[in-house]
Amino acid sequence: ARASNFERYRVILASQWQWSRIVIVLGTIAGFAIPVLSVQGASGNERALPPDALLSWLQSWGILYPLLAAGIGLLVAMGAWAPDHRGRHVHALSLPIDRWRYVLLRMLAGLTVILLPIAAVWVGAVFATSTATIPEGLQGYAWALGLRFALATVVAFAVFFAISGGTARTAGLILGCIGVLIAAQVMISAAGVELDLLGGVGQLVFNWPGPLALFAGRWMLIDV
């Protein structure tokens, strides 16, 4: 049974990769590039930014991390269910496997492919902080940033995966609305503007211990 489950996982993983490979490749490149490019102001030359200006510069780049995490989670989750939606779930329902086990294998396959951009952010953050000249009084948080990005990506994938399991039209409408609201709220929060687009629901969702609290607040590769 274990070998059979592994073979099913391998087949589903291949299908997941086929539908999500462009997103994963682009997300991996972006995940490595964002932290590396964000520390150009701490290059150590005569044009290096002072600490306060550097923090402001890094805060502006920090908006990209939660947006990338949400985007990867959204698109990979949609790709996870794309073959089933295309075939109207006929193939999935005809398999000699419990529905809950099939869903679990699909989710594990999605979590497997998002490891690549997660690893890219961590490697890029470590490389960026190790090559940049960090001003006195500041320090790098490569591990913390990488862990936060990993958790945010997994949470986004899990939420969108659950929603994408419905009909394609319903999932598209819900995912589109949620994606736009999350992106707007993240950008507003990162910019320091006190505007809640979702009212009381937003407070419960985006403030700790809300499920999407990871996406709010500042994402800083270098901080005090």
* Cα–Cα nearest to 174, from 187, 184, 189, 163: 163
pTM, 2 dp: 0.80
Most confident of 83-97, 131-145, 167-181: 131-145
Give the Cα separation of 158 and 111 in Å (integer): 9
Give the Cα separation of 153 and 8 in Å (integer): 24
Helix boundaries (H) for the chain: 2-38, 51-62, 64-86, 90-94, 99-113, 115-131, 142-164, 168-190, 199-206
* Cα–Cα nearest to 186, from 74, 60, 76: 60
More confident residue, 165 or 171: 165
Give the Cα separation of 21 and 66 in Å (integer): 20
First and final CA of the chain: distance in angstroms? Answer: 52
- Please give the torsion angle defined by the CA atoms of residues 165, 21, 158 and 201, in that order, rounded to the nearest 10 degrees: -90
Name the pLDDT band for 180 (thresholds 50, 70, 90): confident
Give the pLDDT confidence of 11-25 residue by residue, as tens digits: 889 888 988 999 999
pLDDT score at 5: 75
Q: Could you give the percent of the chain with pLDDT greater than 90?
A: 29
Beta-bridge partners for 223: 139
Give the Cα separation of 154 and 160 in Å (integer): 10
Q: Which residues contact 125 (CB under 8 A, 6 or more apart)?
A: 35, 140, 142, 143, 145, 146, 221
Give the pLDDT confidence of 94-145 residue by residue, as tens digits: 555 777 788 888 899 999 999 999 999 999 999 999 888 788 888 899 999 9
Sign of torsion, CA 92 96 100 106?
Answer: negative
Give the Cα separation of 97 and 82 in Å (integer): 19
Mean pLDDT for the chain overall? 80
